[in-house]
Structure formats: C-alpha cells, structure tokens
Structure 1
C-alpha cells in the first residue's frame, strides 16, 4: 500500500519558545505507541535546542512501515528521523536507504558498550554497518494471573521450571478455573525459537543465508505448541485482536509471554480493572529472549544539515539517561541504555503487578539475552513458519513435513 508520508502522517506537534519562532524544523516519523516517546521528548529537547521545532508525524503500525518502505525505495516523502520497529529493522538495514551510523560523522559504534549487548546486532547489516540506534528493548517475561494460579493450586515455580511443567500446570489451571493457560499455542513456538541462542546466531538464518528452520530447535518448538493444543490449554486467540484483549479483561487466560512492556499495555488499556492480579516471572526453563524493541534511523536522501540535526535528536533519545527514564515513566518502554537501568525508578514497585519490583527482573533478563543477528528476510521466514505451525495445529500436519516445507519455501525466497 503506497501512502504519501507528509500529507497523511497525522497531526504535527509543535513546541515553540514564547515570543520566538523556531528557526529549524525536524520531522520525526513514528507509530503508536513508539510515537509517545517523541511527545514526551518535545518539551525536554526544547530546553536543549529552543531554536528547533519538532514535527511528529504518525501512522498506524502497518500503514506506517509500508509508507516507510516506499519512501526509502523512492527517496520521496522522507522524514528526517525514522522510527523503526524491530520486525522491520533488518529489512531496512539491508535496503541501502539509511545512513550508516557506524561511519563518520556519526561513529556510533563507540557507544556500543553503553547498550545491552543484543541491541546493536539487531540493526547491523552483513557488511557491519549500523542502520539505526536502539531506543528501547523488550526483555521477554512470563506474565501470569496470580489469583487464577492460586485458585488452581499452582505455584510460580511449577509454571517456570520447564516447558513441560508449564503445560502440566496449564492443565491444572484449566481444570480448576476454566481459564486457558495461554491465548494461543504459537506463543510457545515464538519464545522457544528465540531463547538461549548464542551470540552471533540468527533465529531463522545462519551464515551465508543458511536456513535454520528444519532443525531440532524448531522441531521442539513445534512439539511444545502441539502439546499445548492437544492438552486444550490454549484459547486459540491471536495476539492483538479484540478477542485477545477481551480475554485479559474477562480473566479467561492465565498467562501471556511477551516483552516487559506488556505490563504497561495491560495497565493502561488492555485490562486496567485487573490491577493487582498480575505478576511477572522469568520465562520457563531458564530461557532468555528479546520480544520487541524500537530504533531510530536517518534516511540517506535528506540534506546534510538535517542529518546533523537528526543525529543530535537521536543521541538525545538514546544516549540521554534522563530521556530514557522519561520514556519508561511515560510509556513503560524499557531502556536500551544500561545507565538508565541504574536509576532508582527501576527499583520502584509496580502497583499494577501487586507491588512487585518487576523492572529489576527485566533488567537482569536484558543482561542475559544473546546478541543474535537479524536478517532482512526474518519477517518472511516468520510468516512461513507461522503458516506451517497453523497447519500442524489445525490440520494435524506432520511436524517434520511442515518444517521441511517451510525450509524449502524460505530457500525459494532467498533465491
């Protein structure tokens, strides 16, 4: 869907110093709820650069990334600063349309050790170039309804000890409370294939575009999802649908595995009335994985004067500890900057999670997530894998056959 960016991308947010006119305008393009970072930053950046007007333009998630894909391909309707969600950063990094922040005048690799180790590789291309700076991260966590687990006589240890114990606990929860353990079985697959990889490995691709799908890791992931479906503990509800949101409001699901940011979504719009009933735990079986994350990039085909200002803004958003903490306070976005996670705010109890100091847990998880490589075809591979898993879950397709078919389909896309 080709969408012209400047005419359609939302309402500009303007902040001008009293009695003066901004001498420069910086256009920042983003999407909900990542655009809330920019809204929070405008008054703070104004203190540093009162001569700069920040113009925020925003589209809904899918339309936005379609528009950015077209803008990068054509060189038309480009913003000065581009927000990118993790699912698209590999594709955009290989597009050739973004500034290489590893090179002068940016020299961004000098800041690499200030960020969690898994963040920079997510935005690096095969040539070692850096396409974007990490703004926030999503340490994987298991969120569970404590009231439902208590009613079922299930402990957190039973849920997190292993993947098999998670499924067994799910059977008990379903039998005692009527609630499903998870919204959809594919969540097990999604977490398992990402967890406990080694630094430098990819989720779907290895060196020289080797496809890693027809492997024991994916076979185990598919087996876990199938076991959950057979056990009747998943609600067959797809994430981000209205039915998914309703399942949290009604208490018809007991757990969900996503990034730490899910706590903010639950508290602010998904299920605010369930305050105090949720808790956060580590993923089952000692797994550590990233789930989500956002970046800022600079398009190549804008003026050099705008590139300089764009880089100043990006450094403000990613390297400024106070700005990183402000994003956490306002949007529940977990900082990518390690120094920001030493702020006392990290240690404060989260009322929605029953007073749990869950951010400490997410900080620990973030230090253990491997630095995996991102491939430009990761989104395509994810679509193929998800489709094949659906055939396993809904049509009882043989797992080995499904993975072999997925391997071939992805290899065809590479060719």
Structure 2
C-alpha cells in the first residue's frame, strides 16, 4: 500500500468577504487506512465548529508504526494527533514521547464512558492516560454463508469448540475450500482471548514471560493440527493473496476484529456483499482483536488543538457512531451502545444485525494490561516461533522455550 497524503483542509474561497480567525491552526493527523474513510465524513463539521484545519497522512499499518517509532525516538516528524494500535500502545507510552492526557487535559473525567479494558490499556505505569480509546476490536469470526451452505456445514455447530471448527474445515476441504487463510490466526485468537486473570498477553505481573504456559502450547497445537490437515491456505494477512482470497472465496472463515467489516465492505471485497455472515469466535471465547488509541506526541506544537480533535472523536457520541457506521470501527465509548444504529441490519452481511453481536462481545471482554515488551514478544512468538512450528515442523515446547529465552534477552533493558 502506498503512502498517501490526504488533505481535507484547503482554502477554496479566497474571494469571500470573511475574516479568518487569527487563532486558526493547521494540525496533522497520522494514521492508517481505513481511518481516511472516516475522517472524510467527520472532519468537515469539526473544522467548521472549531476553525482548526486538519491535514491527514495515511500509511499502511506496519509502516505507520515504524515511522512513529522513529519519530518518537528522534523527537520530530510525528503528526499532532497519532493513531496507535493496541499492540503498540504499551511501548509507545513507555517511550516517554506522548503527552500525559490526565495531567494536561483532565482526561480522567471521561473514564466512566469507555470500555474498562480499553481505558486500562491507554494508561501508563503511573496510572495516567496517554492514549484515548477511539475504537475497539471485539473478536469475531467472519464466514462465507454461501460456502458453508454449499458444504452443508452449520456454522453454529462449527464454532462449538476447536474440534468442531476443524471438523467443519475437513468438510469444506471436500469442496476445495480452505477453512481459513492462515492457521496462525487461530493461534493468535487463542493467545489473545484466553489470558488468565493477573497475566498480560505475554508477561505476568512481575514482568516475567509466560510463553511456555498451557495457553501458548494449546494455541500452537490447534494451529498445527489445522496446518497438518491441509485446512489453511497458508496466506498471510494484508497480502495481495489475502485480498484475492476474500474476493474469490478461497477460504471460508476469518478470525478477526469487528473492524474487518469496514475493510471488506469499503475496499477489499465490496463485490462480495451479501455473501458474508459473522459469528462469535469458536470455543466460546471472548476477546479483543485490535483496537486503536489517539495520542498527542510531546513534540507537537499544537497540543491544545490536537486535544480538541481527540475529544471530538472519542467523547462525542454522534461522532463515535459516525466512525462506526463508516468503517465498522466499534465504538470505545460505551454511551453509544443503546443507539438505534445497533438494531440496523448490515447489508454486506446479508441483513444480519451484526452490531448487536459486536456489542455482546465487547461487554464480555476482560481487561488485559499491556506491557512494554509486548511488541518484542509478539514478534518472537507469532512471527518466529509459530512459523517454525507450522512451516518447519519444529517441536512446540522446544520452540516456546527458545522463544522465552529470546524474549528475556531482548527485553532485559526495556
């Protein structure tokens, strides 16, 4: 995906007899798609109300966060408002490059309006807020209704547990359809959604890695069974093959966050509208799959204006709902959950009232505190150890023990 600079604030009426407020300010919003689709809808009114002009810079998810890592380390180059994925919020807060929103703007007054687990994720070790939750990622399973019907598979039965899910995959295989793009997504789902109380995703309360625990062994075992039985397409997320797989029905299910709906509908596979449904994740698990925060880098020269935009996007009920309706980014602000929008049918999903399902998942997610070493551990576990098991047949417990040693070594000085 190419870097895009999209500007919504342009002076178009130079000849009009209007007085430009001297306080008018240009700020920049740095994010990743599909935020641009949402900003096109919500920024015009914000600019009209505040006189603050907003430019926005979109880059693909990975490059956006790589760039921000450099920006925060060097103290220059970041936008005034930045989007931070939940996987990066811990290390970004720990970097010291973000404004303390509790101290500077009294953000804590909004705490009761947000999903508790998301609010906790935006905090630093001092208990203050550095990232305002803007959307959540309730974990769900998208599936091709036409493919399931053709294979004679009942989706409710398929999600009973992981054995049922795999059995459904074996039936789908008979119709030359893969169960899922990558078995790695199943491992990720289990790791993310079965965190014991008192643990983080990869570390315990004392900062020690927990990656050799039964949670990780089980996740790897289920993923390996799917791979060994030839039920996944071995296609990685956010690749061209992945996009084509959605369009062509190459695979029947995708475990993801609710937000995937926006991507499928808006640009990945709009032509498949009506052929999709969404369900809870298999095995009765509830968990978060993604989610975004808005932060202000300390290097920003327009912090007050940046805060106004963050307040607008996170605390305004109507704006949270517009963000949701436009790109299916599930509201972090829980005051929206009684809105009539949740009762509306979603045409892309064949008329399913999917937002009610998203809300049910969101209400059942338990808080998992981020750790500053999460990004390191995630890379080692999901990109190294898991791939060695799936692609090279490495013994699971051996791979996890080696991963634990590597995590300890690489997080020693964080």
> What TM-score do you get using the length of structure 1 for normalisation?
0.92
RMSD (CA atoms): 1.8
Residue 9 of structure 2 is matched in structure 1 by: 14
CA distance in 1, matches of 2:150, 2:32: 39
CA distance in 1, matches of 2:238, 2:287: 20
Residue 97 of structure 1 is matched in structure 2 by: 97
Contact 2:202 2:209 in 1 (8 A): yes
Of the three residues 299, 303, 313, the one matched with 1:317 is: 313
State yes or no: 1:159 paired with 2:154: no
Residue 342 of structure 2 is matched in structure 1 by: 346
Residue 128 of structure 1 is matched in structure 2 by: 127
State yes or no: 1:396 paired with 2:396: no
- Counterparts in 2 of 1:64 and 1:20: CA distance versus 1, 3 Å: farther
| TM-superposition CA deviations, 1:147-185 (whole Å, max 9, x none) | 11112221122211001111111111112x110001110
Contact 2:266 2:327 in 1 (8 A): no
- CA displacement at 1:11 relative to structure 2: 4.1
- CA displacement at 1:63 relative to structure 2: 2.9
Residue 108 of structure 1 is matched in structure 2 by: 107
| TM-superposition CA deviations, 1:26-69 (whole Å, max 9, x none) | 222222222333332221212321x2222223333333222222
CA distance in 2, matches of 1:102, 1:200: 25
Of the three residues 267, 270, 273, the one matched with 1:272 is: 270
Task: Report the 3-state secondary structure (helix = DSSP H, G, I; strand = E; otherwise coil) of the residue aligned with 1:207.
Answer: coil
Contact 2:52 2:305 in 1 (8 A): no
- CA displacement at 1:269 relative to structure 2: 2.0
Task: Report the 3-state secondary structure (helix = DSSP H, G, I; strand = E; otherwise coil) of the residue aligned with 1:181.
Answer: strand
State yes or no: 1:258 paired with 2:244: no
Task: Report the 3-state secondary structure (helix = DSSP H, G, I; strand = E; otherwise coil) of the residue aligned with 1:82.
Answer: strand
Contact 1:117 1:367 in 2 (8 A): no
Which piece of structure 1 moves more, 266-275 or 287-296? 266-275
CA distance in 2, matches of 1:407, 1:365: 31
Question: Which 5+ residue runs of structure 1 have no aligned equivalent?
Answer: 1-7
- Counterparts in 2 of 1:122 and 1:147: CA distance versus 1, 3 Å: same
State yes or no: 1:31 paired with 2:32: yes
Residue 5 of structure 1 is matched in structure 2 by: none
| TM-superposition CA deviations, 1:273-311 (whole Å, max 9, x none) | 2221111000011101111111111122334xx222221
Residue 57 of structure 1 is matched in structure 2 by: 57
Q: How many residues matched?
A: 403
| TM-superposition CA deviations, 1:91-148 (whole Å, max 9, x none) | 1111001111222x32222212211122112222223232110111111101111111
Question: Which 5+ residue runs of structure 2 have no aligned equivalent?
Answer: none
1:371-410 mapped onto 2 (5 Å cutoff) = 371-386=367-382, 387-410=384-407
- Counterparts in 2 of 1:371 and 1:54: CA distance versus 1, 3 Å: same
CA distance in 2, matches of 1:153, 1:159: 11
Contact 1:34 1:294 in 2 (8 A): no
- CA displacement at 1:313 relative to structure 2: 1.5
CA distance in 2, matches of 1:296, 1:35: 14
- CA displacement at 1:13 relative to structure 2: 2.3
CA distance in 2, matches of 1:152, 1:97: 52
| TM-superposition CA deviations, 1:67-106 (whole Å, max 9, x none) | 2222212222332222222222111111001111222x32
1:210-249 mapped onto 2 (5 Å cutoff) = 210-249=208-247
- Counterparts in 2 of 1:148 and 1:12: CA distance versus 1, 3 Å: closer
Contact 1:14 1:55 in 2 (8 A): yes
Contact 1:15 1:46 in 2 (8 A): no
Contact 1:158 1:165 in 2 (8 A): yes
CA distance in 2, matches of 1:334, 1:409: 35
CA distance in 1, matches of 2:270, 2:25: 41
CA distance in 2, matches of 1:27, 1:144: 37
Contact 1:10 1:58 in 2 (8 A): yes
- Counterparts in 2 of 1:338 and 1:47: CA distance versus 1, 3 Å: same
Residue 45 of structure 2 is matched in structure 1 by: 44
Residue 144 of structure 2 is matched in structure 1 by: 145
- CA displacement at 1:249 relative to structure 2: 1.4
